[in-house]
Amino acid sequence: MYTYPGHKAEVYTAKWSPDGKRLASVGDDQTVQIWNADNGGNIHVYRGHKDAVYGLAWSPDGKRIASASIDKTVQVWDAADGGNVFIYKGHVGGVLAVSWSHDGKYIASSGDNLDPTIRIWYA
């Protein structure tokens, strides 16, 4: 059993990569973190959000991660090198959850009570 101690505040979501070799987590410390599931080591820490991060989803191929934040953005990260790929803006309130379509072509995001909408983005 492993403990992943990298976050500095509450952790809101953790999800396995499609191949089961990595674990991603998000939290109140405004980060997205990727962990090696075999040894508990931290692989990447993404610091692009400006507020708490509530949601995350792996792309079906495991190459990218989408994250949803109270900062009103959905951000897409390269899971291999930690680079920021896209920032989607359009929600008028915080974004609580995010999900990839099964074919990897779209990302769905859901807003908080200030923006009770679901938005679909081209991945």
What CATH number does residue 59 fall under?
2.130.10.10
Strands (E), 4-123: 11-16, 22-27, 32-36, 42-46, 53-58, 64-69, 73-78, 84-89, 95-100, 106-111, 118-122
How would residue 87 be classed by pLDDT, with cut points 50, 70 and 90? very high
DSSP assignment letter at 104:
S
Sequence length of the chain is 123
Q: State if pTM tops 0.75.
A: yes
Range of the domain at 54: 11-122
> Is 4 inside any structural domain?
no
Total tally of structural domains belonging to the chain: 1
User: Is a pLDDT exceeding 90 seen at residue 4?
Assistant: no
* 18-76 pLDDT, tens digit each: 999 999 999 999 999 999 998 888 899 999 999 999 999 999 999 999 999 999 999 99
Is residue 55 within 8 Å of 13, Cβ to Cβ? Answer: yes
For the chain, what is the mean pLDDT? 94
The pLDDT value recorded for residue 3 is: 79
**C-alpha Rg value of the chain to the nearest Å:** 13
In a domain, 1, yes or no: no
